[in-house]
Amino acid sequence: MLSVTQMNAFLGNTLQLLRRSIELGGFPPELYEYLSRPKRILAVSIPVRLDGGGLAFFEGYRVQHNDALGPYKGGIRFHPEVSLADDVALATIMTLKDSLAGIPYGGAKGAVRVDPRRLSPRELEELSRGYVRAVAPLIGDELDIPAPDVGTNSQIMAWMADEYSKIAGRNVPGVFTAKPPELWGNPVREYSTGLGVAVIAVYAAKALWGSSDGKTAAIQGFGNVGRWTAYWLEKMGVKVVAVSDVNGTVYKRGGLVAAELIEKNRNARGPDLLSQVAKYNDASIAQDPGAVFGIDADILVPAALENAITEDNVKLVRAKLVVEGANGPTTPEAEKALYERGVVVVPDVLANAGGVVMSYLEWVENLQWVMWDEEETRARLEKIMADNFKRVHQRWVQEKGWTVRDAAYVIAVERIYRAMKARGWI
């Protein structure tokens, strides 16, 4: 680790997973020395003139972890508690996620320590443009391509792409992804992560039980990932029996009908959708958001936040298949308990990669100034996700005693290792 980075628990866990996969895969220990350090860290300070008149300074970072496989790629997080160690951990995970997805990217991540909800739209725009000016020398459409993450969205990407284009003196669509369709974005991006989770869940169900038809699913979280996972699972013939958000859990044994409502509310934010789903299905909302874990369903999709399934609630879980829609929703202790009970956990790096795979597709469109229609884009996305699943599954069945996460991480590390070896870095 670089000495400027202060260790924290998140980075510690990330490095532990990295070390384990390097040992399991039989790679040289030197590889750990390489991958436990980011290649470059940029720390910046962004001044914003506040509406009230004062000047505020926000601290930001761009961490470029590894570019053996291609240009750096990773989101920008706006969050009041983000630290450099978090950013290093997230950049490391991006290197692995991009590698596993088979796309030509290395890993990076950006962050600004700010609570975006406390800024006015004008202040937020100034901060977004200021961040781009600060990191501009290090990013570019064939150098480092950021995207949204927690606290950032397609509007922020539009401001950022515009600011970068002003600096370059020409339109540079490929420097940011997940932009709005009006600015060279692709409409599939909105639901790409949920679609990817559903594709992976269906493939995993087929691998475990021979078919996914009529299988049941419970989904924790009804935001972007949770609701589009529900939508696509329903379309793919899986019965979604429960969905939850911070306010509670809606359950209907025979299966909820939600796809139409989700489609109709595709741009809506906030908690109202869950109550609409309850009303439409004549079901009630159990006030306990945690009730979703104890639902009798074949598949459980945690799609809310990290550390959702823990040592404390893992005994409630009745599903035989857990598909991680969120990042880091299962703690290592909970995963161990699930493994011992024969429950299969499909990890985040595989299951929720639909967003970054869609970013890759948007980037390919942007570099060539072409625009695929929704159906064509979706078919490409689904194929990449399915191929990723098959690779991980094949490795997992070969290696006795491995979790699916072990198989995914080892495949990811292997691809990076081969590229580094071919380049003569190691």
Select the residue whose beta carbon is closest to ligand NAD and give its number. 223
Q: Which of 96, 322, 355, 396 binds ligand NAD (CB under 6 A)?
A: 355
Write the binding mask 62 to 81 for ligand NAD: x where contact by CB under 6 A, - elsewhere.
--------------------
- Cα(69)–Cα(98) distance, integer angstroms: 9
In the region spanning residues 212 to 231, those forming contacts with ligand NAD, defined by CB under 6 A, are: 220-226
Classify the C-alpha dihedral 195-198-200-203 as positive or negative: negative
Stretch that binds ligand NAD, among 47-55, 168-176, 299-307, 406-414 (CB under 6 A): 299-307
Give the other-Cβ count within 10 Å of 237's Cβ.
12
Three-state DSSP at 125 gives: helix
- Cα(144)–Cα(73) distance, integer angstroms: 6
In terms of Cα–Cα distance, which of 92, 79, 76, 121 is closest to 7?
A: 92
| Minimum CB distance to ligand NAD smaller for 269 or for 315 | 269
Structure tokens at 56: 């505020």
Stretch that binds ligand NAD, among 8-16, 238-246, 370-378, 403-411 (CB under 6 A): 238-246
The answer to whether 99 and 21 have CB atoms below 8 angstroms apart is no
Write the CA distances from 265 to 223, 260, 277, 308, 395, integer angstroms.
12, 9, 11, 26, 40
Q: Which of 92, 244, 331, 403 binds ligand NAD (CB under 6 A)?
A: 244
Bridge pairing between strands 144-148 and 106-113: unpaired
By CB under 6 A, residue 245 contacts ligand NAD? yes
| Minimum CB distance to ligand NAD smaller for 356 or for 420 | 356
- Cα(165)–Cα(365) distance, integer angstroms: 17
Residue 410 C-alpha from the chain's centroid: 19
Active site residues: 109
Q: Which of 66, 95, 331, 352 binds ligand NAD (CB under 6 A)?
A: 352
For ligand NAD, how many residues bind (rule: CB under 6 A)? 22
The answer to whether 228 and 194 have CB atoms below 8 angstroms apart is yes
| Minimum CB distance to ligand NAD smaller for 223 or for 294 | 223
| Minimum CB distance to ligand NAD smaller for 56 or for 386 | 386
Structure tokens at 62: 């761009």
Residues 6+ apart with CB under 8 A from 115: 78, 79, 80
Please report how close the Cβ of residue 22 comes to ligand NAD at its closest, in angstroms. Answer: 24
Please report how close the Cβ of residue 75 comes to ligand NAD at its closest, in angstroms. Answer: 8
By CB under 6 A, residue 303 contacts ligand NAD? yes
By CB under 6 A, residue 305 contacts ligand NAD? yes
Please report how close the Cβ of residue 25 comes to ligand NAD at its closest, in angstroms. Answer: 25
Q: By the criterion CB under 6 A, which residues form the site for ligand NAD?
A: 150, 193, 220-226, 244-246, 289, 303-306, 325-327, 352, 355
